[in-house]
Structure 1
């Protein structure tokens, strides 16, 4: 019998909500988010328009795959690419993800995780600082 942890369940609920939302990534409050205000992240180990996040990584960092809003024109930095039968969003070629540890819009708990996960900020340096004491044991 499979047991689903509460954190995983919250992430799955968020994915269902995100899938129903139709919008391209947008800047809100100085960071890149989805239409509901959930923070989007990039992963340093990715190649342009190619995700390196698989298996347990993808459970902790689900891909951002919302459908574009009808008639809306995405920012020039936004694009989509094929990933496992879905179209994942990218920002300047970097694939975009949610963090399972973010439980509500505005959360930024994944920023700086293991030195390889970052929120997207306009004109931000490539490095971010990790919240004190929040680094998980894995590299995901």
Structure 2
């Protein structure tokens, strides 16, 4: 009888842990890119939250950033409007995704801002020809640590072109 009671006492917490693990498997790309956190350790945009892209001053000139001032990058291997960043790549370069349309903010051209489908229901923001990505090595707003990495990752100017100079 004692072993049955012990098994029952252990089974309840294990079942709860299993449910928590399964719950972690769902959610949007935005939720999962950094465990629900942005690169600065702050909570990622909530599903349904409006996200915007705006221009901001940096050591590289005016560049695209999100609402929080996090730098956005383009990947030279992408084709116009279509991302080529695979799962390993996205672990380091999370895509800018949103459940709602991404809005053009100050200093940007709304005609250059579009979206492309990533998969079932997920859409990635595109500016000009460049799908937009973050770099996990950028810890705070305004960081441009991903600039020029591997000769393939560059910040994007407000005119939709990659800025290829060194930071």
Please indicate the TM-score interval, normalised by the length of the shorter structure: 0.7 to 0.9
Where does structure 1 lack aligned partners over 5 or more consecutive residues? Answer: 1-9, 132-140
Q: Deviation at 1:69? A: 6.2
Alpha-carbon distance between aligned partners in 1 of 2:102 and 2:126, rounded to the nearest angstrom: 16
Q: Secondary structure at the match of 1:118?
A: strand
TM-score when normalising by structure 1: 0.73
Larger Rg: 2
Alpha-carbon distance between aligned partners in 1 of 2:34 and 2:131, rounded to the nearest angstrom: 18
Which residue of structure 2 aligns with residue 103 of structure 1? 139
Q: How many residues align?
A: 121
Alignment RMSD (CA, Å): 2.9
* Change in 2 beyond 3 A, CA 1:23/1:109: same
Query: Which of the numbers 34, 43, 48 marks the counterpart of 2:75?
Result: 43
Q: Secondary structure at the match of 2:90?
A: helix
Q: Deviation at 1:22? A: 1.6
Q: Secondary structure at the match of 2:91?
A: helix
* Change in 2 beyond 3 A, CA 1:69/1:120: closer
TM-score when normalising by structure 2: 0.62
